[in-house]
Structure 1
Amino acid sequence: EDDIRSPPTPASEARETPPPAMNDNVRTHYNALAGYTSYDLQWLGPILYPLTFACIAQALVFTDIALSSQGRRFLPQPKWLIRNISKPASPIRMDSRINMVASIIMLSEVVFAACCIVQCALNYRHREFVGTSNACDVQAAYATYYVFSAIGLAAYGIIVGWRVIAAGDGGALFQARRLLAAGILIHVVALFIALLPLFGVDGWMFATDYCMFNIEAPLYCALFLFFFGGSVIVSVIALYNASVAVASASMDTAGPKRDAFKLLLATSGYLFAAWVTTLIIAFLWLANGAVFNSTEWRIYGAQAIILHSNQLFTPLLFGWLWRHAMQAILVSSDASSSLAKP
C-alpha cells in the first residue's frame, strides 16, 4: 500500500519557518511540517465527528450540571438508574460534590476538544499545518496534558464511584476539599509533564498529521506506561471493592448500588479500549525501535480518531450517567436512613 504522507519539502522549496525555540533533539519529525498538506476527509472527519458532536454533548452536560444544582432537570434521568428509588415529592438538588467531580473530569476533555477543533479547522481551511513548528509545540503540549490528565481522571472517577457505593454520603474520601485537591493535583501533574520539553527533555513529535508527546522516546514512553498501568491497577482494585460493597448492601440500597457498579464496569471497559491504541504504539516502539518510520505508522491516525471520541463519550459517561448513578445511591441511602430512625 502506498504511503500517502506528504514527504518533507526540500530545503530549496520549503517555506520559511521561524527558527526552533528549542534544541532539535526535543522536536522529532518536525522536518515533515514544511511539506505537509492537510488532507480533505482526514481533517474534515474529526471536525464533524467526533469534535462537533463532542462540543454539543459537553454543552448539554454542563447545562444539566448548572440546572441540577438548583433542583432542575435538563437532560433526562436514565430510567434504569432511578428505577430502584422512590420518586421524590419535590425536585432534589444534585449533590454539589458529584457535580464538582464530573466537572473536574470533563475539564481536560473540554480543553482538548476546543483546542483541537480550532486547530483542525484552521489546517483544513488552509490545507497546511498553520503555524508549523510553533503551532506543533502548542498542540503537542495540550495533547500531552490531555493524555496524562484523562488517564488519571478516569481512575479518579472510578475511585470516587467506589467510595460512594461503599460508604454513601459518609465516606472520608467523599469530602469536597479532598475531592477538589485530588482533581487539581491530577491536572497540575499532567500540565507539568506536558511542559517537560521546555526544559530540554525529549520531547514532542509530529505524528503523521498532528503533534503529541514523543512516545517513541524513553521518558515519555515510560511515563505513559506508568500512568496507564497505575490507572488500570487502582481501577481494578476500586471495582473489586465496589463489587464487595454491592454484595453486602442492604435491600434498600442494593439496587442503585448494583446499577452504579455496572456503569463503572462498562465505563472502565470503554476507557481501557480507548487507550489500547496508544498502548500498542508504546509496545511497538519497545519491540521494533520505530513506529512513525515503519510500516505501522498509520496507527497514529487510528489513535487520533479514537482518543477524540473520548471528548464525546466521557461527558456522556461521567457527566451524565455517572452523576445520576451516584445521586441515586445518595437518595436511596438517605431514604434508608430515614426509615431506620425510630
Structure 2
Amino acid sequence: MMPERIRTVKEFTAASRERELVGITQAAYRVTEKCDRLQGPCGARCFSNHGEQQPDPTIEQINEVFDNLLNAGVNAVNIFGGEPLLRKDIVDILRLGRAKGFIMTLTTNCDFMSEELMAEIAPFIDYLSVSLDGESAKANDKYRGKGQFAAVKRVIDWYDPKMPFQLKVNTQVHKLNYDEIDDIPKLFGDKPVIWKLLQYTPREAGLQCKDTFAITCAEFEEKGRQIVEKNRVALDRNLYLYLRTYSYDEVPDVLIIRPQGDVLLNYQEGYVVIGNAHSGNIANMLVMTEDQHPGYFDANSREFNDSYPIFPT
C-alpha cells in the first residue's frame, strides 16, 4: 500500500469557506507560454503538443477569466506558465486573484525571483510552488537546466514560515533521477514544506521521450517507501509528503486555461479542448465534463486537497 501522510486540507481561506462549491476546486491558468527553460522532462510535460505559443492575455482578459471561474464555483487558481515571472504585471495578476477571493498558487522555476519580489507577492498568494528534480545542483540541473537548483535553493533559504503562504516543492520521479532525490528534504532544514512527488507521466509530444524517463507505478511506490523510511524524522516534524501515482485510465482531474482562453482537460495520453473561457460558460463546461467523466469533480477536489494542505498551527 502507498505510504501517505495526513492528506486533507484542515482549513481554507475565509473567502473559500464562504463560497459553496458548485463544480471543481482548482483551475490552472497559464498566463504565459513563454519560458526561459524548455528542456528534458519539464519541457515535454509542460508544453506537450499544444501547437504554437499563444499571446499573453491582457489584465482585462485575465479579469474576465477570473469572473468566469468565480461564476463556475471554482475556489482556487494556480498561476503558471511557461514562466509567469516573465510577466512584468505578475504582482497585479496575483493581487487581482486575491481580490476575487481565490486561494492563489504561483508556480515558478524561480529564475526571476528575488527576495524583494517574494516579499511583494507574499500578501497575494497562499502557496508558492517550485520544482526540484535532484538533491544537488549536479543532479537537478541535468534536467532543469544550469542554475535552476541554485535559484530554488535561494527561495527556500528566503522562505520564512511566518510569511502568509506555504512553500511547496514538486519533484518528478523518473528513470534517470530515481536515485538522486532521496535527500531533497535536507535542503528544507526545519522549515515546514509540502513535498509532492509525481510519477513522471508524459502526454502528447512528451510521449516521444517516454522510454527515456517513464517508470512503473510499482517502481514509483517503491521509491516512495524508500523516501518515507529515510525521512521519518522530518515527516514527524516539518515535512508533508504527497506521493502521486498516475494512470492514463484514471478519471480526469485538472482544468487548464491557456493564454487565449482555451479550456483543456487531461484525458488519457493527451489533452482535450472543451471550450473557451472568453466565449463560453465554464460552469456549463464543467457540468458537461462531469456528465462525460463521472467523478471528475471529486477527482479535482481530491487532487487539490492532497496537493495543497495547510499545516496545523
Smaller-chain TM-score range?
A: under 0.3
TM-score normalised by structure 1 residue count:
0.24
1 or 2, which has the higher strand percentage? 2
1 or 2, which has the higher helix percentage? 1
Greater C-alpha Rg: 1
TM-score normalised by structure 2 residue count:
0.26
